[in-house]
């Protein structure tokens, strides 16, 4: 069985779920599946994505973190692709679909077959399963800081009374377990807005709430020089609508239209993601990040944090940084109060 525990994003990580991608043979029966202009770039994404996952697994294993993965192949014909999101999507970003809060694993929302292999290895007594839910609990939107939980809720969800009831149910459950709940309503992934690296050390964005007020006395680095996406072509930009980018394929209209038609559920909205923020702490003194940023690295040095750069080459296609493409399953540590 995979052990489950998580009280803070910076506690020592011991068990981690690492995502996986797809095989090019998934598309052998697709219309246009013989086109080199489509299949060659997709083959490169498939192969390089797995190479990068293997590198991440090595980084974690070198830090004495046990990794868990699921390799999935959809049993679905191409003509049914659009109507079967759960069975056609590779398990790229397990962070987006699940949460570990305290000593419970939350599988809330419609079941996803691509994740079943991992969930089956968890003690059923620790799994909170709710397939009647109309939303998902996700640590992409929940930051755990010991006794305090910072949860960002999509304001669009609040138009539905049944969703509001479910949100209040989980808030009350966590309060009953001893947590303090802090809610915000920005409506996008919190792990692309701010990162609690360790007690007293935060990296945040200039356009989100002032976390210095929520974390009194903590040193909050605000990044205000976010680099733009690495494409300039206006026509291509209009085609992809800010959702994805593949290096060297800016003028491959055939590929762009294929992705927009068949893989629109695979990509996100990469223009709103800041990969400098999307980081995974191994412990209070070690963090995995996506790239070098001088301000961030100077902040790390000040707080005696050692960064490890992990280059997820196709993060602009998958809309996922190192935090998104993992799910911490077990961290040492207990429910501490960092604001006493």
Q: CA-to-CA distance for 5 and 183, rounded, in angstroms?
A: 22
pLDDT per residue as tens digits for the range 4-25? 999 999 999 999 999 999 998 8
pLDDT value at 300 more than 80: yes
Q: In the prediction, which pLDDT does 225 show?
A: 65
| Predicted confidence band of residue 79 (pLDDT cuts 50, 70, 90) | low
More confident residue, 254 or 193: 254
Residue 119 exposed, middle or buried by CB count within 10 Å (0-12, 13-18, 19+): middle
In degrees and rounded to multiples of 5, residue 221 shows phi and psi of -85, 120
| Predicted confidence band of residue 273 (pLDDT cuts 50, 70, 90) | confident
Q: If you average pLDDT over residues 138-158, what whole number do you get? A: 92
Beta 104-108 vs 127-130: how paired, if at all?
A: parallel
CB burial of 41-56 (b: ≥16 within 10 Å; e: otherwise) equals bbebbbeebeebbeeb
Q: In the prediction, which pLDDT does 126 show?
A: 97
pLDDT value at 171 more than 80: yes
| Domains of the chain in sequence order | 13-331 (3.75.10.10)
pLDDT value at 230 more than 80: no
pLDDT value at 195 more than 60: yes
Q: Percentage of the chain with pLDDT > 90?
A: 57
Q: If you average pLDDT over residues 299-321, what whole number do you get? A: 95
| Predicted confidence band of residue 83 (pLDDT cuts 50, 70, 90) | low
Q: In the prediction, which pLDDT does 78 show?
A: 66
Neighbours of 210 (CB within 10 A): 10
pLDDT value at 86 more than 60: no
Tokens of 156: 């669009």
Q: If you average pLDDT over residues 30-54, what whole number do you get? A: 91
Q: If you average pLDDT over residues 175-193, what whole number do you get? A: 87
| Predicted confidence band of residue 180 (pLDDT cuts 50, 70, 90) | very high
Q: If you average pLDDT over residues 283-297, what whole number do you get? A: 94
Residue 192 exposed, middle or buried by CB count within 10 Å (0-12, 13-18, 19+): buried
Q: CA-to-CA distance for 63 and 281, rounded, in angstroms?
A: 11
As a whole number of Å, the end-to-end CA separation of the chain is 35
């Amino acid at each position: 069985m995979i052990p489950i525990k998580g009280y803070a994003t910076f506690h020592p990580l011991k068990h981690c779920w690492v995502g996986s991608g797809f095989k090019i043979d998934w598309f052998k029966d697709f219309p246009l599946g013989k086109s080199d202009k489509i299949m060659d770039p997709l083959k490169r994404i498939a192969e390089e994505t797995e190479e990068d996952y293997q590198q991440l697994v090595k980084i974690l294993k070198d830090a004495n973190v046990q990794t868990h993965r699921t390799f999935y192949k959809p049993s679905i014909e191409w003509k049914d692709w659009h109507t079967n999101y759960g069975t056609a999507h590779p398990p790229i970003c397990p962070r987006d679909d699940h949460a570990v809060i305290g000593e419970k694993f939350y599988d809330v929302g419609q079941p996803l077959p691509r994740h079943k292999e991992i969930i089956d290895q968890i003690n059923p007594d620790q799994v909170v399963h709710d397939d009647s839910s109309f939303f998902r609990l996700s640590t992409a939107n929940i930051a755990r800081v010991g006794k305090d939980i910072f949860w960002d809720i999509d304001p669009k969800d609040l138009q539905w009374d049944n969703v509001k009831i479910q949100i209040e149910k989980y808030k009350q459950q966590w309060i009953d377990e001893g947590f303090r709940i802090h809610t915000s309503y920005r409506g996008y992934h919190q792990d692309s807005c701010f990162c609690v690296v360790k007690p007293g050390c935060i990296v945040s964005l200039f356009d989100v709430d002032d976390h210095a007020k929520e974390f009194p006395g903590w040193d909050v680095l605000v990044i205000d020089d976010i680099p733009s996406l690495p494409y300039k072509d206006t026509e291509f930009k209009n085609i992809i609508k800010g959702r994805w980018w593949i290096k060297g394929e800016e003028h491959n209209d055939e590929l762009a239209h294929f992705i927009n038609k068949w893989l629109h559920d695979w990509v996100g909205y990469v223009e709103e993601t800041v990969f400098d923020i999307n980081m995974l702490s191994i412990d209070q003194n070690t963090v995995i990040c996506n790239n070098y940023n001088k301000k961030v690295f100077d902040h790390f040095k000040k707080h005696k944090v050692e960064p490890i750069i992990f280059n997820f080459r196709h993060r602009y296609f998958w809309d996922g940084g190192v935090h998104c493409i993992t799910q911490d399953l077990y961290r040492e540590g207990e429910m501490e109060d960092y604001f006493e």
